[in-house]
Chain A
Amino acid sequence: MTSDDLLFLAKNVSKSFGGLVALDKVTVAVPEGALTLMIGPNGSGKTTFLQVACGVLKPDSGALLFAGRNVTGLPPYARFRLGIVTTFQIPRLFPSLSVLENVLLAAQKVRESPLSLLSSRKGERDLVERAFEVLKLLSLDRVWDKPARALSGGQMKLLELARALVSEPKLLLLDEPLAGVNPALAGEIMQFLSKVRREKGVAMLLVEHRLDIALKHADYVYVLHHGRVISEGSPEAVVEDPLVAKAYLGE
C-alpha cells in the first residue's frame, strides 16, 4: 500500500479514561474505496476508536490524517463537512422529523441561511429526488412521511444509513450496523454496503461483531484487544492467527 491511495490514517492513537487505557498506540489505515473491518472482543476499544475517528473524543496522543490533511483537532461537524460520516450502534435520529426530513437534513450541502429560502426550487427538487433514490435503495420509500419514531429498530438503522449515504461521504465510519438486526436483513445490509463501496467508491471502516456476515466483504481486518492491535491482515490470515483465537476464547 502506497501512501497515495491512503484516505484515512490514525497514527499511534492513545486514549485513556482515568487509569484505564482504552487505546494504546493504535495505528489503522483505510485506503481509498476499501472496506476495512475492525473486530475484537467486548471492551477491546473498538467503539472508543470510532469516537476518536469521528471527533466525539479527543485522543491523548497520536494523529489523524484524512486525505492528507491533519484532522486531529477538528470537531465532528467539520469532519462531517469534509466527508467523514458516522453511524452509531444505537441510531441517532430526529424522532419527530419525518423519514424524508431526516435524510434531507444531511443532503443539504448548501449552508442554511435566511437567503437560501430564495434559492431555486429546482435545487430543492433535486435534493428530494436524491433523498428518495437512497430511501428506495433501502426500501424506506414507502414510509417516507412517517415520523422517525414510528419506525422499527431495523428501519431506524436503515434510516441512519440512508442519512449517511445521502451526504455523499468519502469515509463511512460504521459502528455495528448489524447489531440487533435479524440475519436476513443483516445480510442485505452488508450486500448493500459493498455495493455502495463498489459503485460509489466510498471507503468504510466497519466495527462489527457478526464476523460470519461481515468477514467475507472485508479487504483488510484489524483485531483489537485491550486497546491494542494484536493482529492485522487479510480476512483469511487474521482468522488463522492463533493470537486472535486466544483473544476471543481466552487462554
Chain B
Amino acid sequence: MLDLLVGALVYSNLLALMAVGLSLALITCRVSNFAHGDFAMVGVYVAYTLSVVAGLTPYAWIPAAFAFGGLVSLLAYLLVFEPLRERTDLVTLMVVSMALDMVLRYSLHVYADLMQQWLRVYTRLFMFDDFLVEAAGSRLPGVLPASTAVVAALLASLYVLLYKTRVGVAMRAAIENPGLAEALGVSVRRVFALSWFLSGALAATAGVFLPFRIMVSPDTGWSMLLPTFAAVTVGGIGSLGGSVLGAYLIGFSETVLAYQLAQVGISTAYRPLLTFAAIIVTLLVYPRGLSGLWSGKGWSLRRRS
C-alpha cells in the first residue's frame, strides 16, 4: 500500500512538471505540442551521459538537464513555432509538432546508439540507481523526497517569476493579448522565447526522475504524452494552476485504479484506457476543466481574444 502511494506521488510530481510545461506551449503559441515528451527524454540522456562520464548521481545533473532541455525547446520555438505564430491554424501547428517529435525522437535514437559505442553502457531500457531514506520506520526511495522538493521549488519559482517580476507581468500580458502587448512596447517574441525555454526545462527536469521508477528508452517520452495531455485537459486547458491540480488527480487516479484493476485480474495494460476516459469525460461534461471552477481568479492564464 505504501509502495502504491509512493509510486502515485512520484508519478504525479513528474506529471505536474510535464503538464505545466505543456501548458506554457499551449497558452503562448496555441501548440498542442506532441514533441513535449521528447524534451523529457533530452533531460534523461543529458543526466545519464554526465553521470556516466563525470560520475555523481543523476540528481546532481538536474541543473544541466534543465538548461539543455530548455535550450532544445527554445530552438524549437525560434526555428519552428515563432515563424508560424499567428499565421496558421491549430491543426497545422499540431501536425508540425508531431513532425518535430519524430525529428527529436529519432535524433535521440541515433544519440543512444552513439553513446552505447562511446561509453559502453546500455542506452535503452536502463534505470538509475536510487538511494534510500529512512522515514517513519520504513525505507522510502530517494526519488520521493527529491522529486517533491524539486517540484515544489520549481513551481514556487515559476509563480514568483510570473507574479512578482516585470518579466512575469510582460509574459502574462503577452499571453492574454499579444497584439496589445506588442503595441505597448513588449517584445512578445522575447517573452514567448522565455516561456518556451521554461517549457522544455521543466519537461527535461521531470525526465531525470523517470529512470528512477521505470526503464526508459528514447520512445518513453512519447508514452508520457497521454497522461500529460490528460492532466492539462482535466485541469482546464490554458491554466497553469489547473495543470498542477490535474497532474495530481490523473497521477493518483491512474495509479490507484490500475492497481484496483490488477486486483480483480484485469491487465494493467488497460491503464491508458483510464487516462483516455478522463480526457473524454472532461471534454464531454465540463470542458473548462478544474480551473473553470475558479475561472479567472488565481493562477489562471489564458488568452481571451
Chain A residues in contact with chain B, CB under 8 A?
76-77, 80-81, 86, 92, 94-97, 101, 104-106, 108-109, 111-114, 116-117, 124, 127, 147, 149, 163, 167
Contact = CB atoms under 8 A, between A and B. Distances in A.
B149 to A, nearest CB: 22
A114 B196 CA distance: 12
B167 A94 contact: no
Interface in B175-200: 176-177, 180-187, 190-191, 194, 197
Contacts of B197: 114
Nearest to B165: A117
Closest 7 CB pairs of A and B: A76-B183, A112-B170, A101-B169, A80-B185, A77-B182, A112-B167, A94-B173
Contacts of B300: 96
A109 B186 CA distance: 9
Nearest to A113: B190
Interface string B277-305: 00000000000000000001000110010
Contacts of A76: 182-183
Given A77-B182, A77-B185, A80-B185, A112 B172 contact: no
A127 B304 CA distance: 27
5 contacts: A94-B180, A96-B300, A96-B304, A104-B166, A108-B166
A105 B183 contact: no
Contact of B173 (A80, A97, A124): A97
B184 A163 contact: yes
B180 A108 contact: no
Given A81-B185, A97-B169, A113-B167, 5 more contacts: A76-B182, A92-B177, A92-B180, A105-B184, A116-B166
Given A94-B176, A94-B177, A95-B304, A105 B169 contact: yes
A105 B167 contact: no
Nearest to A78: B185
Contacts of A109: 185
B16 to A, nearest CB: 23
Of residues B166, B170, B181, B301, which shows the largest number of chain A Cβ atoms within 10 Å of its Cβ? B166
B180 A127 contact: no
A108 B185 CA distance: 9
Contacts of B184: 77, 80, 105-106, 163, 167
A106 B185 contact: yes
A101 B301 CA distance: 14
A97 B169 CA distance: 8
A147 B296 CA distance: 10
Contact of A96 (B170, B190, B296): B296
A86 B180 CA distance: 11
B62 to A, nearest CB: 19
Contacts of B181: 94, 105
A96 B172 contact: yes
Nearest to A104: B169
B190 to A, nearest CB: 6
Given A104-B166, A112-B166, A167 B185 contact: yes
B166 A80 contact: no
A97 B301 CA distance: 10
Nearest to B161: A117
Nearest to B302: A96
Given A105-B181, A167-B185, A117 B176 contact: no
Contacts of A112: 166-167, 170, 186-187, 190-191
A149 to B, nearest CB: 8
Interface in B139-174: 161, 165-167, 169-170, 172-173
A79 to B, nearest CB: 9
Contact of B166 (A92, A95, A127, A147): A127
Contacts of B183: 76-77, 80, 86
Given A77-B183, A113-B190, A97 B166 contact: no
A107 to B, nearest CB: 9
B187 A117 contact: no
A105 B173 contact: yes
Interface in B234-268: none
A147 B301 CA distance: 13
Nearest to A149: B296
B194 A105 contact: no
Nearest to B304: A95
A33 B243 CA distance: 51
Nearest to B176: A94
Contacts of A149: 296
Nearest to B167: A112
Contacts of A86: 183
B172 A124 contact: no
A95 B176 contact: yes
Nearest to A106: B184
Nearest to A55: B183
Nearest to A107: B166
Contacts of A108: 166, 170, 185
Contacts of B304: 95-96
